[in-house]
């Protein structure tokens, strides 16, 4: 049974809403218990399970703040969504290993998410526009 585009949109918007509030438990609740969480290029590689994703979100929320996500385009398929978004906020920590120093930051993200029949996110692949981050947060 496939989810509708509206069901997937609602779940992804809920996921992004928890991220905007730095709510680790809320974000994890949108993920399937055995989720494959893959931030492409991350030194850890893909992880599996909610608890394995927890560390990424805790670090992310320490490194980035006052963030908002604006979806620019979404493509839907059978239980998957491709979302191109723009993240805006500040970088008080070391996002993706780059010294933020509290500077403003904006970059594009590409999410490919697969959903379980229950509506949980079963797989999250994320590509980050590192070139944009490095342009905005040059080494000091």
Residue 40 backbone dihedrals phi, psi, to 5 degrees = -60, 125
Q: Where are the beta strands (DSSP E) in 79-132?
A: 80-91, 103-115, 121-128
Summarize pLDDT for 105-124 with one digit per residue, the tens.
Answer: 999 999 999 999 999 999 99
DSSP 30: T
- E strand or H helix that includes residue 134: helix 130-136
The one-character DSSP state at 21 is T
Q: What is the pTM of this model?
A: 0.92
pLDDT score of 127 more than 80: yes
| pLDDT 10s digits, 30-83 | 999 999 999 998 888 999 999 999 999 999 999 999 999 999 999 999 999 999
Q: What's the pLDDT score for residue 139? A: 87
Q: For tokens 């809403």, name the residue.
A: 17
Domains and CATH numbers, the chain: 5-136 (3.10.450.50)
Answer yes or no: are the C-beta atoms of 102 and 91 closer than 8 Å.
yes
């Amino acid at each position: 049974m496939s989810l509708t585009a509206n069901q997937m949109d609602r779940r992804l918007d809920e996921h992004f809403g928890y991220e905007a509030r730095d709510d680790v438990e809320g974000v994890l609740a949108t993920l399937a218990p055995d989720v494959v969480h893959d931030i492409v290029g991350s030194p850890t590689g893909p992880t599996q399970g909610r608890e394995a994703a927890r560390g990424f979100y805790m670090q992310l929320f320490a490194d980035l703040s006052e963030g908002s996500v604006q979806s620019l385009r979404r493509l839907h398929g059978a239980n998957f969504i491709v979302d191109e978004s723009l993240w805006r906020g500040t970088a008080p920590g070391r996002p993706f290993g780059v010294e933020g120093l509290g500077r403003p930051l904006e970059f594009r993200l590409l999410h490919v998410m697969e959903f379980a029949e229950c509506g949980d996110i079963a797989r999250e692949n994320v590509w980050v526009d590192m070139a944009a981050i490095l342009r905005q947060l040059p080494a000091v």
